[in-house]
Amino acid sequence: MGYRVVVAGATGNVGREMLNILAEREFPVEEIAALASRKSLGTEVSFGDKTLTTKDLDTFDFTGWDIALFAVGSDATKIYAPKAAAAGCVVIDNSSLYRYDPQVPLIVPEVNADAIEGYKAKNIIANPNCSTAQMVVALKPLHDRAKIKRVVVSTYQSVSGAGKAGIDELWNQTKGIYVPGQEVEPSKFTKQIAFNVIPHIDSFMEDGSTKEEWKMVAETKKILDPKVKVTATCVRVPVFVGHSEAINIEFEDFLDEEEARDILREAPGVLVVDKREAGGYITPVECVGDYATYISRIRQDSTLDNGLNLWCVSDNLRKGAALNAVQIAEVLGNRCLKKG
C-alpha cells in the first residue's frame, strides 16, 4: 500500500521536477494528482512512463490524500496549504511562506531530519531556499566535528531560480545581442542578465541586504544552529541551471583541510571533486540533473586561526527545491506516516 500524493504547481519548473524525482526514486505512490491554476488546466505532465492531465487547484478536495508537494508560490500557498492541511493531507511547501514559522519544521533531511516530528502542529513542513539547502548540506558534517562560529558566503545563482521567466529572459537577451532588431530589455531582472552579473536577488531590506541574503542567514540558523553567524552576498549570474557558492568558514576548533575533505567524502548527499589541477573541480554545467551537492576547492584560510574555504555547487531545481521536497516526503513516510 502506497501514498496518495498531490503535486500542486505541476506545470512549473519545480513541479515537473517533483514529478520526475518521485518517479526516479520510486516513491511508493498509490495514486497521484497533478494540480495547476486554471490558466494551465488540462496541461499534460509526465510522471515516469505515465501522462497526467492537470486538475484545478482551486476546486480540488484534499480529503483522503496523504502528502501534498506545493510549488505554487507564497500567495497561492497561503490560500490552499491550510485547506490541504485541515483535510488531513501533510503539506511540504517549497515557498517561503512557512519557513520562519516556529510551529513549522524547516527540513533538509541530511541535516535535521529529527525535526520532522514537528509537522503535527500545523500539518505543514517547509522546504528551504535553494541556496540555503546546498550550503547546510556541506556545513553540517563539518559543524559536527569542529563547531562553526561564522560563515561568509557569496552565491552565484542561476536564472532558473527565478522560474521560467528568468530562463526565457537569459535566452532571449543572449540571442538579441547578436541579432539586430531583436534586443530584449530587462523585465524579470533589474538589469541585463546576458553576459552580466547582478548583485540583487529579491527585494532590498532596510539594512541594505536583500531578502535572499536574509533568508540564507535566518534559515541556516533554524536548520543548523542558531549560534552560527552568517553573512551572505547573493548574485544572479547568466547560468541556466545550477547554483554555486564560495563559502568561507570560521570554526571554534582547528580543522585540517585533509580531514575536512575526508569528512565531506563520507557525508550524506555530498560528492567531493577536488583535484588541484585544471578542471579538477565542479561547475554548474556538470551538476545539472544530479542529486548531489558537489564540493571542490577545499583549502585552509591563512588569515584565520581556524578557517576553511570551499566551493559548493548543486542543481537548484533538484537539491535546492524538488529533490529536497521528495526527500522530506521519504522521511515523513518512513518515520511518521509509515504507510508505504
- Catalytic residue numbers, as ranges: 130, 243
- CA dihedral sign, ordered 185, 190, 193, 196: positive
Q: Is residue 122 annotated as involved in ligand binding?
A: no
With a CB cutoff of 8 Å and minimum separation 6, the contacts of 309 are 246, 247, 248, 249, 297, 298, 299, 300, 301
Tell me how far apart the alpha carbons of residues 46 and 19 are, in angstroms, rounded to a whole number.
7
Q: Is residue 39 annotated as involved in ligand binding?
A: yes
Q: Is residue 11 annotated as involved in ligand binding?
A: yes
Q: Is residue 173 annotated as involved in ligand binding?
A: no
Instruction: Provide the 10 A C-beta neighbour count for residue 121.
Output: 12
DSSP states of 171-206: HHHHHHHHSTT-----SSSSS--TT--BS--S-B-T
Q: Is residue 145 annotated as involved in ligand binding?
A: no
Q: Is residue 99 annotated as involved in ligand binding?
A: yes
Q: Is residue 127 annotated as involved in ligand binding?
A: no
Q: Is residue 40 annotated as involved in ligand binding?
A: yes
Chain centre to alpha carbon of residue 202: 15
Q: Is residue 236 annotated as involved in ligand binding?
A: yes
Task: Supply φ then ψ for residue 251, to 5 degrees.
Answer: -105, 160
CA distances from 30 to 5, 84, 142, 162, 334 (A): 8, 18, 39, 32, 16
- CA dihedral sign, ordered 118, 124, 125, 128: negative
Q: Is residue 74 annotated as involved in ligand binding?
A: no
Q: Which residues carry a binding-site annotation for phosphate?
A: 99
Q: Which residues carry a binding-site annotation?
A: 11-14, 39-40, 99, 157, 160-161, 236, 316
Q: Which residues carry a binding-site annotation for NADP(+)?
A: 11-14, 39-40, 160-161, 316
Q: Which residues carry a binding-site annotation for substrate?
A: 157, 236
